[in-house]
Amino acid sequence: MSRRALTLLLAGFLVLALGVVGAFRPVPYVVLSPGPTENTIGEVDKKPVIAINGRQTYPTTGALSLVTVAYQGGPAAQIDLLTALRGWIDPTVAVVPQETIFAPDRTQKDVEEENTVEMTNSQDSATAAALTELKIPFSMVVTVLSTEKGKPADGKLQKGDEINSVDGTPATDTNAVSNAVKAHKPGESVTFNVTRGKERLDVTVQTVSAKGQPQVGVVMQAKYKFPFDVDINVGDVGGPSAGLMFSLGILDKLTPGELTGGKKIAGTGTIQPTGEVGPIGGIQQKMVGAKDSGATVFLTPADNCAEAMKAVPEGLRLVKADTLHDTVLALDALRTGKGNVPACEAG
């Protein structure tokens, strides 16, 4: 073999070796793919997803399914370049920069814990929204779930504190508390009036800047006092985006007749206790998951409609969801064939 041929062979081998090594190097991206669906009026592991005790319930049929997004990657388990490339080719998944999900100052454990808290809050908000729709009275208090280590609230606010007001503004829900804090500039002080045990006291906390926004580092939970028990079991699912479907599942069980008309309906959207439906992430992957589960109708938050219309799977009908009340009316119209069914429109 000539020296030139040997050189080319060795160079080719080195390029191939470097390519193979490079393909398996970790990269700071996360792959998002369609996750599992759960029927909120069905069962998980032979247990009802929604169990109601202390109030009359009614039989249901069909499906009101929540949809999820599975992710691969993250600070603790970065994907390799080959996995990212496969994701870029697959139209049903998305490959996004790691920092869009895991902020530089937050670990994977922090994000997972936050998702768990958001899921718990979502379940409570969903119950509150359903009871509000049914005009069933209940009460609510905002409590401190935890404080972030090193942040201003650490050591001042305590787990279990009931927040009555912030700078005199009543703590009607967690959003009211957040908005009262955000009304300040970073560096200004905020006064929390809290009930701790049997004592009511004022706690002053100085805000700090987090991406230009004021923050004190408190994790809150809205604790509702409902007139009966509503237990929600979805296994290892986190985040707030199942709120709308939880509310619909609760409503379906608490009212005669069937919201679905026996159809398989899936959907997504955060929910406020007052019934407003909010936008979510991963809409494309959630629609694919809905279609794969057999759903023919997909309840879509109004703010996600334009994005959803760009990639809606064939055979899946998108129904716009602005509020819980409007969504119930839309389901009634779908079931009876009478009335308006609000559709998503391209932006």
**Residue 259 belongs to domain with CATH number:** 3.30.230
Strands 199-206 and 297-301: unpaired
Same domain for 195 and 80, yes or no, is: no
pLDDT at 10: 54
Which pLDDT score is estimated for 298? Answer: 97
* Domain membership flag for residue 82: yes
Q: Distance between CA 339 and CA 325 in Å, rounded?
A: 14
- Same domain? For 305 and 178 the reply is no
User: Of the residues 176, 207, 224, which one is the last residue of a structural domain?
Assistant: 224
Which one-letter amino acid corresponds to residue 202? Answer: D
331 and 251 in a single domain? The answer is: yes
Are residues 115 and 238 both part of a single domain?
Answer: yes
Asked if residue 234 and residue 125 are part of one domain, the reply reads yes
Choosing from 241, 247, 263, 291, the catalytic residue is: 241
Contact predicate 277/321, CB 8 Å: yes
Task: Determine, yes or no, domain membership for 6.
Answer: no
The C-alpha atoms of residue 317 and residue 322 are separated, in whole angstroms, by: 16
Cβ neighbours, 10 Å, residue 146: 17
Q: Domain range spanning residue 159?
A: 139-224
State the pTM of this model: 0.75
- Which one of 224, 258, 293 terminates a domain? 224
Is 199 within a domain?
A: yes
Q: What is the pLDDT of residues 289-309, one digit of tens each?
A: 999 999 999 999 999 999 999
Catalytic annotation present for 286? yes
pLDDT at 17: 47
**Within this chain, do residues 261 and 127 fall inside the same structural domain, yes or no?**
yes
Same domain, 237 and 123: yes
CA dihedral of residues 18, 19, 23, 25 (deg, nearest 10):
20
Among residues 253, 286, 291, 320, the one annotated as catalytic is 286
Are 128 and 258 members of one domain? yes
Within-domain flag for 3: no
Q: Which of 198, 224, 250 is the last residue of a domain?
A: 224
Residues 161, 121 share a domain: no
Q: Are residues 212 and 317 in the same domain?
A: no
Q: Is residue 2 part of a domain?
A: no
Task: Write the CATH number for 200.
Answer: 2.30.42.10
Give how far Cα 202 sits from Cα of 145, 178, 197, 199, 205, Å: 18, 17, 14, 10, 10
Cα–Cα–Cα angle for 128, 174, 157, rounded to 5 degrees: 130
Q: Is 241 assigned a catalytic role?
A: yes
Q: Are residues 66 and 164 both part of a single domain?
A: no
160/282 same-domain check: no
Stretches in the chain below the pLDDT threshold 50? 15-22
Asked if the structure places residue 59 within a domain, the reply is: yes
85 vs 29: CA distance, rounded Å: 11
Number of domains in the chain: 2
* Structural domain contains residue 13: no
In a domain, 314, yes or no: yes
